Amino acid sequence: MHNYVMIGMQLLGSLGLLIFGMRMMSDALQKMAGSHLRHILSRMTANRFTGMLTGAFVTCAVQSSSATTVMVVSFVSAGLLTLAQSISIIMGANIGTTLTAWIMSLGYSVDLTTVVYPAFAIGILLIYSKRHRYMGDLLYGIAFLFLALVLLSAGGKSLDLEHNESVVQFFASFDTSSHLTIIAFLAIGTVITCVVQSSAAVMAITILLCSTGVLPVYLGIALVMGENIGTTATANFAALGVGIKARQTALAHLLFNVFGVTWVLIVFYPFVDLVCSLAGYDPTAGGQAERLPVVLAMFHSCFNVANTAVLIGFIPQMERVVRWILPDVKKGGPEPYRLMYLQSNLIQTPEIAVLQAQKEAARYADEVCRMFTEVRPILTEMDEKKIQQTYDAIDKAEQQSDEIELEIAHYLEQVSDGHLSDETKTKIRRLMREIGELESIADACFNLARTSQRRHSSSLQLGQEQQSNLVRMADLCNEALAQMSRLMHDETHEVDIKETYRLELAINDMRDRLKSENIRAVNDRVYDYEVGVLYSDLVGEMERLGDYIVNASEARVGKKENY
């Protein structure tokens, strides 16, 4: 009994090491790929076939279908992908994840100890090298993964289950020719995968039991099918409480796998026998337990490839079904600003989190541009009602702007708690500066509205020339804000910041000229000193607004150019 307890602890520890190794390996690959994963997913989806290949490639690269599907859910929520594009990528992700099963089956047929220790030795050298530390993390993840497989294989042999009469009789008591038994084991595989949130762990357990010869191949394959459904739980949990588009994408993933399992159940025994023949295994003959890990990996691949081949031509129909189950929310009119892209339960990798924050910052920029559009008319307006209404609206918008800045900053602080690459750290610092400058633009808009209200309450009247000058300067600010907005939304890097610098120079020149003219006009008694001060305040605030625009634009592009 004591031996079984120790072996059981060894197996549990090995599973923990396996999950840790997979996670470390996946994180290292994602850090090495950086923004390339985002560009691949968001651009290589011209049609359903390239989308499928993209999903397979990215999943093979990061060794995590969950990471890929959560990225896809995030991109659909952020408006980078359509629902149809996301379905094709998810199909590819299911194919790409079969590589994990092949890696695990390798651990039961090849002595991996010859690879494990050199990988640890080389990995530790690379980890202490700043330039290659992510490669070191990757080697360590691979080493932990392979070590876990070695320990699992050794633990399975130590259990000697094939000679344990009670265990053999327990599994032999199940009628493998009954669909009810297959469905029961399918349900068990689904529940376990949902609970442990790791399809790799369930696959490892299944391979372990099959490799000892106690778990019949039909029941092992049923567990693998259940793991395919259970792995969709990650994306569905990630989509809870967020936008309808994200939930639609997660639902599409679930429906795709459920449909695949359903049609395979109908032709279960012929399909499994075909896979067994491809792997050189006879399910009716005894022995050959050492071939079962390969059979399970082969089934996993054949199942997902066949399911994709069947459904890839029906993506539009799948999209309609998903929209029928989860219809799009109809918008009945203008709504107050609310955060769209910052969903903490979608943070799986820092790169995705930063992408979401960049998209939200671009929306924030549009909001402060709208504030200036509202405040601009009252710079020369004398109607008390219009001035008061605009002031109240800008006051409310400025308070909301403070809240938006704090929420984005808090989100970025949460991202900063993770293990970040230098590139991601730099992006976060730039975003922090960017949202601070955007909030300053909102403050400038509020100051303009407050000064305009003070002008009216003091019954101060600006001259015609002063009004014309304010309109021209407001035109320059408006043009600079529009350029900033284009820069914030630019993903092709075709928008040049030099235009922003040109507009800032024009604003500065006009400020200097108007300031000199204002001093002369006050000295010459063209208008009162109080009018001159108010006029100077409006001009100075718009010049400061131009400075904030330049600062925000520089933060977005990440560099300061000479101009």
The reply to whether the predicted model has a pTM over 0.85 is no
Q: What is the token pair recorded at 393?
A: 């609206």
Question: Distance between CA atoms of 199 and 234, rounded to whole angstroms?
Answer: 10
Q: How far is 399 from 404, CA to CA, in rounded Å?
A: 9
Radius of gyration of the chain (CA): 31
Q: 402: which 2 tokens?
A: 């403070």
Tens digits of pLDDT across the chain (563 residues):
556 677 678 777 877 777 777 677 767 766 665 555 556 555 555 567 777 887 787 777 665 666 677 667 666 765 667 788 888 888 888 888 788 778 777 766 666 677 778 888 888 888 777 677 778 887 887 788 778 777 776 766 666 555 566 666 777 778 878 888 889 989 988 888 887 766 777 777 787 777 777 778 888 888 888 888 887 776 676 666 556 777 788 888 888 889 989 998 999 889 988 888 888 777 766 666 677 788 888 888 898 899 888 888 888 888 889 888 888 755 444 445 566 666 555 455 677 778 778 888 998 999 999 999 999 988 887 778 888 889 899 999 998 898 889 888 888 888 887 767 777 888 889 999 999 999 999 999 999 999 988 887 888 888 889 889 999 999 999 999 999 999 988 866 677 888 999 999 999 999 999 999 999 988 988 888 988 899 999 999 999 999 999 999 999 887 654 44
Does domain 349-557 fall under CATH 1.10.579.10? My reply is no
Nearest CA-CA partner of 146 in 298, 291, 25 = 25
Give the Cα separation of 479 and 434 in Å (integer): 19
Q: Where are the domains of the chain?
A: 2-162+173-325, 349-557
Query: Is the distance from CB of 371 to CB of 445 less than 8 angstroms?
Result: yes
Q: How many CB atoms lie within 10 A of CB 9?
A: 11
**Three-class secondary structure assignment of 353-364:** HHHHHHHHHHHH
Q: Which two tokens stand for residue 200?
A: 């790799």
Q: CB under 8 Å to 122, separation ≥6 — which residues?
A: 136, 139
- What is the rounded distance in angstroms from the CA atom of residue 153 to the CA atom of residue 211? 9
497, 557 Cβ separation under 8 angstroms: yes
For 138, the token pair is 């990757």
How far out from the chain centre does Cα 61 lie? 16
**Helix, strand, coil % over all residues of the chain, rounded to 5:** 80, 0, 20
> What are 373's two structure tokens?
């559009």
Residue with tokens 């012929």: 270
User: How far is 540 from 548, CA to CA, in rounded Å?
Assistant: 13
Q: Given this model, what pLDDT does residue 332 score? A: 45
Q: Is 119 exposed, middle or buried (0-12, 13-18, 19+ CB in 10 A)?
A: buried
- Name, in order, each residue with C-beta under 8 angstroms of 280's C-beta and a sequence gap of 6 or more: 291
Q: What is the C-alpha to C-alpha distance for residues 195 and 250, in angstroms, rounded to an integer?
A: 18
For residue 58, which amino acid is it?
A: V
User: Residue 125 has what pLDDT?
Assistant: 81
